[in-house]
A and B are shown apart, each in its own frame.
Chain A
């Protein structure tokens, strides 16, 4: 298949990756299947890490591009989901340090305040906002751990992904949950 046949036509809605993948290499199929399977969870995770949809999209794109490189270098990860979350978490914490995220976060907050939501959405949005606000007060690795737990990763997978021992991860997650609980109680989200 020539390049012209597989290059996307940006004037049309993008085709599903699997449709494009018919007849292509196993490596490409591997990546595209991984994308279909994990992109939503990874994007949601990245958004909760950064509170910025643009930054989240960037992180997801970068994570999958790195997956392409790993696979093309003959190093397919054993656990793709854990690998992607680890890479995305590392990217989020290194990119999101200090000013960048702080500045984006402020923009998001201002943007969000411009659009009054419908009544039914207000409580949910306030609850989510408080939750994200509480998460933002945790150390990035603690935030990543709680979000990965919510995505169904086991404690061992989280420890591996964050490069910590299981004991250290247990302690970190306990402290993070307790800090988050205290914050949510204060904000009236939890009793």
Chain B
């Protein structure tokens, strides 16, 4: 049994997680017995000390001021002090204008229409609030709008400065003035309207994009679409929608923007699920509250924890999907839609207070899953094969200028070792791969990112390694040699490595052995598999396999021993855990500071490690 990797892993875990008593005892025994493990455990603690000694920094005064403002005002907008000064100046100007207008009010009670709309058109409906009707004035009933109404569920762009948002479609004391003002370029999703009141056409809107602020920092509520003289304060616009549609882009969109972009269009989206949460809202967007009425909100909506974000979904109870289907970690492909008709039922029943407008937006903007499919089952360490001709390898996992296109294009049947991923970007699912058949300078290999499938047709571009693997009980040196010889050196790994049926089983071959000492300047405790390791050349029937002995193996000969004719029964394996610590291709040897250790790890995983040797006569 090889414990080195396991011991260091436990040593790391013990720094963050409580270990059971028996685990603690085992770890201490291992560390006492394994100097390399103890050294690494010590190095991890030293790392922690170094990290704690990093310079302590403080938030700037500007940040301190803004957080104080936000906390005290209860508004998390990010207006700068300068903007506040400007706003104050505007208010003073407004009061002066009001003083001038006061005479007009005294002469004629028809109030607002006497204000010259051209004097300050940019102020918009906020002017009206200064001359609000009495507090007891009822909100007028909705009537059909005059002129061309703005369609519900469309998007408009603000074209006037300082457009006021109100809590109700009226200029009255009950209709609160919400802050901050909207500014030209801010985009709004129209939820309902028009309501005609106080000689304005009012629309209920949700901001979906801000010019100087995040949409979430702008108020939702009612706006007037134009001045009394018809000067428009908003104009029809198109939402900015992600293309291609991927989960990262979707989760960055405000909820209403999702409705504006996709309505109830069926979508397939890929997600890399790393955890599923059904409780609380910490750290992520919070979905509908459980007391809202529709099943969408009551269905234990789930937040899928992905690489850098969370994305909330609900499960359609009429579908065959069960919650557990989307509770699986890994790459998952979800089918469903936003803006389900059921969302309109949010809050229509139940004993709780009526839901807010925001609840309805949250229900409409929730992605409802009605089908789930598992993504490509390729984990890190998998050996796969290209199943298309002309597969492109890129330097970065996206399509764009910063992602270099490597050559050559890979033909069908090329073996690839997955070393990282998946990553969702540009509409594709990407895996980082080492391509053993494409050598690079300084003992390197081609390494880069490939897309797993066509994003239009779903046609896979990489698939499970399709290789004829010899029966492990009938393995010979010749068969093993075929699997491990260049250019595709990963055959042993693909047939007998992690994730295969025989993972963990000792492979036995028979042959003569010739030891080869490591070069003196390459000996390194941390490097017992790679370039600095002692090698064993196993030979039988004219075929040879290069292997390395595990450091705990007591060999019956030294590395300087002359070859003899003794036949040995040799047990070994691929994919030794020590490969993850392999630093064999040291940068100084490779002559490159940017050497990629993943290539080194791949080479070490592909190496046949001898764990037992017995003379077989």
Contact = CB atoms under 8 A, between A and B. Distances in A.
Interface of A: 3, 6-8, 10, 13-15, 17, 20-21, 24-25, 27-28, 31-32, 35, 39-40, 42-44, 47-48, 53, 56-57, 60-61, 64-66, 68-70, 72-73, 75, 77-79, 82-83, 86-87, 90, 93-94, 98-99, 127-128, 131-132, 140-141, 146-147, 149-150, 154-156, 158-166, 168-171, 173-175, 177-182, 184-186, 189-191
Contacts of B597: 179, 182
Contact of A181 (B44, B67, B275): B44
Contacts of B61: 13-14
Contacts of A57: 59-60, 62-63
B581 A25 contact: no
Given A7-B84, A57-B60, A150-B51, A77 B74 contact: no
Interface in B325-370: 329
Contacts of A48: 51, 54
Interface stretch (B13-21, B406-414, B466-474): B13-21
A39 B65 CA distance: 13
21 contacts: A8-B65, A20-B72, A31-B71, A35-B59, A39-B59, A40-B57, A44-B55, A64-B63, A64-B67, A69-B76, A69-B216, A83-B283, A86-B282, A86-B283, A141-B307, A147-B51, A155-B17, A165-B274, A181-B43, A182-B583, A190-B43
A181 B40 contact: yes
B437 interface: no
B40 A178 contact: yes
Interface string B44-74: 1011101111111111111111111111111
Contacts of A163: 274-275, 277, 283, 305-306, 310
Nearest to A30: B71
Contacts of B51: 48, 131, 146-147, 149-150
Contacts of B587: 186
B460 interface: no
A185 B308 CA distance: 29
B26 interface: no
Task: Please classify how large the interface on chain B is, using the bins under 10, 10 to 19, 20 to 34, 35 or more.
Answer: 35 or more
Contact of A174 (B12, B55, B56, B69): B12
Nearest to B275: A163
Nearest to A27: B74
B309 interface: yes
A87 B68 contact: no
Contacts of B130: none
A168 B53 CA distance: 27
Return the 10 tightest CB-CB contacts between A and B, nearest first: A163-B305, A155-B16, A150-B51, A86-B283, A31-B71, A155-B17, A174-B12, A93-B308, A65-B76, A68-B76
A35 B63 CA distance: 10
B558 interface: no
A112 to B, nearest CB: 12
A184 B583 CA distance: 13
A14 B44 CA distance: 40
Nearest to B286: A75
Given A61-B62, A162-B305, A190-B43, 8 more contacts: A15-B68, A24-B72, A35-B67, A35-B68, A60-B59, A93-B308, A154-B17, A174-B8
A41 B16 CA distance: 18
Contact of B71 (A7, A68, A131, A147): A68
Which residue, of B54, B68, B275, has the highest number of chain A Cβ atoms within 10 A? B68
Contacts of A171: 9
A159 B47 CA distance: 20
Nearest to A25: B74
Contact of B67 (A31, A47, A82): A31
B57 A156 contact: no
Given A61-B78, A165-B329, A128 B55 contact: yes
A82 B64 CA distance: 20
B175 interface: no
Contacts of B53: 128
A82 B69 CA distance: 23
Nearest to A178: B581
B230 interface: no
Interface in B3-32: 8-9, 12-13, 15-17
B59 A127 contact: no
Nearest to B12: A174
B390 interface: no
A131 B50 contact: yes
Interface string B603-615: 0000000000000
A126 to B, nearest CB: 12
A102 to B, nearest CB: 9
A68 B76 CA distance: 6
A32 B63 CA distance: 12
A53 B44 contact: no
Contacts of A141: 307-308
A65 B580 contact: no
B252 interface: yes
Contacts of B63: 39, 57, 60-61, 64
B396 interface: yes
Contact of A75 (B65, B217, B281): B281
A101 to B, nearest CB: 12
Nearest to A42: B59
B580 A64 contact: no
B402 interface: yes
B244 interface: no
Contacts of B580: 175, 178
B458 interface: no
Contacts of B44: 177, 181
Contacts of B68: 8, 14-15, 17, 20, 32, 35
A174 B9 contact: yes
B64 A35 contact: yes
B81 interface: yes
B280 interface: yes
A190 B8 contact: no
B308 A140 contact: yes
Given A48-B54, A57-B63, A164 B275 contact: yes
Contacts of A182: 526, 581, 583, 597
A165 B2 CA distance: 26
A94 B309 contact: yes
